[in-house]
Amino acid sequence: MKARFSFDPALSPFLESSRRGHAFDYDCARAASLKNAIEALGVPHTEVGALRVVADAHLGGLARFLRMLGFDTLHRNAFDDEEIRRLADADGRIVLTRDRELLKCREIARGAYVRALKPEAQLREVAARYGLAALARPFTLCLSCNLPLKAVDRAAVAGRVPPTVCALHERFVRCPGCDGVFWPGSHYERMLSALRSSLSALS
C-alpha cells in the first residue's frame, strides 16, 4: 500500500536526507497503522501533531506569548470551565490552567498546572515542559485571532499603511480573520528580543 507523507521541517532530523523538505511516497505494509508507518520512517509518533493549547481566563499574558511563538492557543476571558472541557475534548488540546480541580475532569486528557504567576516565568515553565524552544515559529499567527498570517505584496498594502512604513519595509503579512496588516517594525524587534530572552534561559 502506497501512502504520501509530508512532515513539518522541525521533524527533518528524524528523516533520511532524501526525504526532507518535500512530500514523498512510501510503500507501507497493508496492515500498518499510521503510527507504524510514521515510526518506520524514523519519526517517533509522540513527535507528530501540532501543539494546540487552550488557556484559562487567568493566563491571558501566557496565551499571547504562545501565539507570538506560533503555537495555536485559544484564550478568552469569558471561557468558563465547561467551554474549556469541551475544547479540550473536541480538539485534543492541552489545557493550561491555574485551577488544579479543572485538570481532574475526565474530558481533559492532557494538561498542565501552571505554577508561575508572571507571564514571562509562565512561558519559561511551559516552554521547558513541552520543549517549545525548538518548535517555535515566531510571529506566524495573529495575536488577536490566532489565525495563520499570510504574506502580501507591498503594493497590495500601500494604501493601508503609513507611506514611511511602506518605504522602509518590504515584508508584510495580513490576517485573514481581522484583516490586520503587520510588518517587522521596532515593536516586532522588542517582542522578539523578549521572547529570545525567555527561551534562552532554558538552554
User: Following DSSP, what letter does each residue of 138-166 receive, concatenated?
Assistant: TT-B-TTT--B-EEE-HHHHTTTS-HHHH
DSSP sequence for 100-111: TTGGGSTT-SSE
**pLDDT score for 49:** 58
**pLDDT score for 134:** 75
92 contacts 166 by C-beta, under 8 angstroms: no
Given a cut of 80, is residue 125 above it in pLDDT?
A: yes
pTM for the full model?
A: 0.72
Better-scored residue on pLDDT, 62 or 44? 62
41 and 85 inside one domain:
no
82 and 120 inside one domain:
yes
**pLDDT score for 184:** 86
What's the domain range around 161? 150-200
Cell of 8: 513539518
74 and 121 inside one domain:
yes
Given a cut of 60, is residue 202 above it in pLDDT?
A: no
How large is the average pLDDT for residues 160-188? 89
58 and 124 inside one domain:
yes
